[in-house]
Structure 1
């Protein structure tokens, strides 16, 4: 979408986003619940590994947990669009927390069978509450101005990035004081408290999600959101391609540092990636753009791919760190723009699942990128692996664009 002609001449500040009535309270509650997602993966991995003394059992449980959590996110979001967050989020969060508690209790003592740990891990993945998509739908109702909404999405993305940095640090502190199962229990408590605080917000109770639950006796039939929105399909494809880049870059950085006998520097290079992502997200929200969202999405994806390809030609570690930081600059803009397109390309009753599809595409691409590069990195030159990882983003960015949706009473342009 081009910048709205009725938007103010100055880009609104991040403080203006948080000064919106009930925004700070609602956003804080969502972040509290989403902190669980920064804690649980590492805590679950450590707990299962300690209980079974098997890396394969821990890895297998984490694989099915992650697959169920990511791939079923649109289905859970569709339930929220259909029945409303106040009716759906609490039971889903309760089931998720119960599964985590069952896993923590089973892993409390060594010697637990792998099946007794894998079953609650799968159950937790099936019931992961989509707090991120719900919060982005709430932002759409809280800040209807498109400039302010873009800044809200940027703030949301940067805050979520920080949660995934803070979560493992908290796990380390809990494990040092006790055991990994205690960190799993902490994740269960966080998601329940955060979810209950979120659904008790006046924003949710007054229907600012733009989600209208159908009558209980005749709920509206679910609509295939990807099938009816070409703009959303293209957006999911582009964000998946950028996810491939991000999933590949971590393993490629490990291989680069090990080839040069500097394996201890991998954390600094990945820190540069995270710093670039945070800076890029904040800067993207601060600039007042005049180009259409779909053009900015393509440009950001192309930038990510180009930076990753250049990173493969780095002669020194510090050059690699700089190139990876530049690549990180484009992660936040891609996701923010993807969420904006998702918001405007569907009718208000399907915004949550549209945003969930963007998230699912990105995470699926990230997993695919890691798996694919893992197969290639020992067979091909490292520079070629970087180029191959960058290729999907460059190809998707150069593909013909779809017209973006038009936000006017839920209608969208068709061609």
Structure 2
């Protein structure tokens, strides 16, 4: 009975020193704080745009279409922008990208308010999504410059996962308060300012900027991302997106069927809170075994918990299982980032982290569509069964990653090795 309290106290007692030590590394606070500000903006931008466009047009259909175009464009074009950043550097690309993003969002809101033709509005939404910076990937790439040991990197990437959890817990609440209490446009304005301010400050921190890619190898920029190791990690994050895309819909449907719809937000928040706590615990301690082994174990736990929710016919049991599944989320994200840092050459980290985000976004979109259709045809039980099948891809992908690492002897390729192989 004393194990759990001790684990929960760990990050705030001796474990706290791990986070303090990485934040005291030269240059870390100077890029981490701006990236946190920018990520809070990113966590709010989707919902704030939905609020704003619906208020301007009076149509949730238009608002949903605009938000969808924004998200798809962000996921598809984001890795290409990251590729450009890897080639030219964050400091050279970010200021112009931020200016484009501000112009795009301003034109989008103007077009929505003046009832411009729908195709024009959607093009502007896609432009806004394509020009949105990815501060999480930018920050993750910089940790590879600052942190010298695997332990420091694990702690840093755990902290990154925790920040994401906090952002997506607090962000939607803050957007709702701003949009309802002040003005419908207040949320999107605040989110845009956060993204722009954070990324502008980030672009000025040249001392922790990752090395840029030699443009002489520009024609082969993406080949290093086709390795089996990276593809396995891409699959892990795609299937983690299945969890994020299916669980909110199934929990909402289950709550409605059980006549406790008012508890839906609490059920979902519990998953995020437990993920936050597990991220703090994971980053504060040294764990036995390789990162690949950790990834397999936590992925299996995630799949098992969703499976328990699928076979349970009680809302309480399903909710507890899904909340418990949150304990695997932050460790999966942190370990994936650590393995990417080991696998991908330093001058291609930004695009690799962005591809991981895009894979997760694709998983969310695909799972939401499939599980939503399953719920319409057979209720939440059908939704949970399909969600369990989809999420089972997470441990399968993690096992593939571990097997690939074992075959490679867990020796990452350097940029020089890759160039030689491609030549």
TM-score normalised by structure 1 residue count: 0.89
- 2:290 matches 1:292: yes
Query: Of 259, 262, 281, which residue of structure 2 is paired with 1:261?
Result: 259
The equivalent residue for 1:123 is 127
Q: 1:29 to 1:222 in 2, by over 3 A?
A: farther
- 2:136 matches 1:138: no
- 2:91 matches 1:89: no
- The alpha carbon displacement at 1:131 in A equals 1.4
The equivalent residue for 2:355 is 357
CA deviation digits over 1:293-325, x for unaligned, max 9? 222222222211110110123344332232111
- The alpha carbon displacement at 1:395 in A equals 4.1
Can you give the 5+ residue segments of structure 1 that lack an aligned partner in the other structure?
1-9
Query: Of 74, 80, 89, which residue of structure 1 is paired with 2:79?
Result: 74
What is the alpha-carbon root mean square deviation over aligned residues? Answer: 2.4
The equivalent residue for 1:196 is 200
- The alpha carbon displacement at 1:409 in A equals 5.2
- 2:184 matches 1:180: yes
Q: 1:110 to 1:136 in 2, by over 3 A?
A: same
- The alpha carbon displacement at 1:128 in A equals 1.2
Higher helix share: 2
Query: Of 59, 62, 84, which residue of structure 2 is paired with 1:57?
Result: 62
Asked whether the 8 Å contact 1:38–1:167 carries over to 2, the reply is: yes
Asked whether the 8 Å contact 2:298–2:332 carries over to 1, the reply is: yes
Q: 1:285 to 1:410 in 2, by over 3 A?
A: farther
Count of aligned pairs: 398
- The alpha carbon displacement at 1:264 in A equals 1.0
Between 1:243-252 and 1:109-118, the stretch displaced more is 109-118
Matches of 1:79 and 1:241 in 2, distance apart?
27
Matches of 1:119 and 1:333 in 2, distance apart?
37
Matches of 1:165 and 1:275 in 2, distance apart?
8
CA deviation digits over 1:331-370, x for unaligned, max 9? 1111111111111111111111111122211121112111
- The alpha carbon displacement at 1:281 in A equals 1.4
Between 1:286-295 and 1:125-134, the stretch displaced more is 286-295
Q: 1:170 to 1:222 in 2, by over 3 A?
A: farther
Matches of 2:67 and 2:109 in 1, distance apart?
14
Instruction: Report the secondary structure of 2:287's partner residue.
Output: coil
The equivalent residue for 1:32 is 37
Asked whether the 8 Å contact 2:224–2:344 carries over to 1, the reply is: no
- The alpha carbon displacement at 1:181 in A equals 2.0
Asked whether the 8 Å contact 1:373–1:389 carries over to 2, the reply is: yes
Asked whether the 8 Å contact 2:225–2:344 carries over to 1, the reply is: no
Asked whether the 8 Å contact 1:23–1:142 carries over to 2, the reply is: yes
Asked whether the 8 Å contact 2:154–2:334 carries over to 1, the reply is: yes
- The alpha carbon displacement at 1:64 in A equals 0.9
The equivalent residue for 1:105 is 110
Matches of 1:396 and 1:157 in 2, distance apart?
18
CA deviation digits over 1:83-102, x for unaligned, max 9? 11111111112111211122
Matches of 1:126 and 1:353 in 2, distance apart?
14
The equivalent residue for 1:402 is 404
Instruction: Report the secondary structure of 1:378's partner residue.
Output: helix
The equivalent residue for 2:156 is 152
Matches of 1:60 and 1:228 in 2, distance apart?
32
CA deviation digits over 1:239-274, x for unaligned, max 9? 211210221011000111111111111111101111
- 2:216 matches 1:211: no
TM-score normalised by structure 2 residue count: 0.87
Instruction: Report the secondary structure of 2:376's partner residue.
Output: coil
The residue correspondences of 1:265-414 to structure 2 (distance < 5 A) are 265-380=263-378, 382-398=380-396, 399-400=399-400, 401-403=403-405, 405-407=410-412, 410=415
Q: 1:395 to 1:124 in 2, by over 3 A?
A: closer
The equivalent residue for 1:240 is 238
- The alpha carbon displacement at 1:279 in A equals 1.5
CA deviation digits over 1:71-126, x for unaligned, max 9? 2221111111111111111111211121112223344x575554453332111111
Can you give the 5+ residue segments of structure 2 that lack an aligned partner in the other structure?
1-13
- The alpha carbon displacement at 1:139 in A equals 0.9
CA deviation digits over 1:169-214, x for unaligned, max 9? 222232234322232222222222111111112xxx13x3332254
Asked whether the 8 Å contact 1:406–1:412 carries over to 2, the reply is: no
Q: 1:265 to 1:382 in 2, by over 3 A?
A: same
Q: 1:393 to 1:176 in 2, by over 3 A?
A: closer
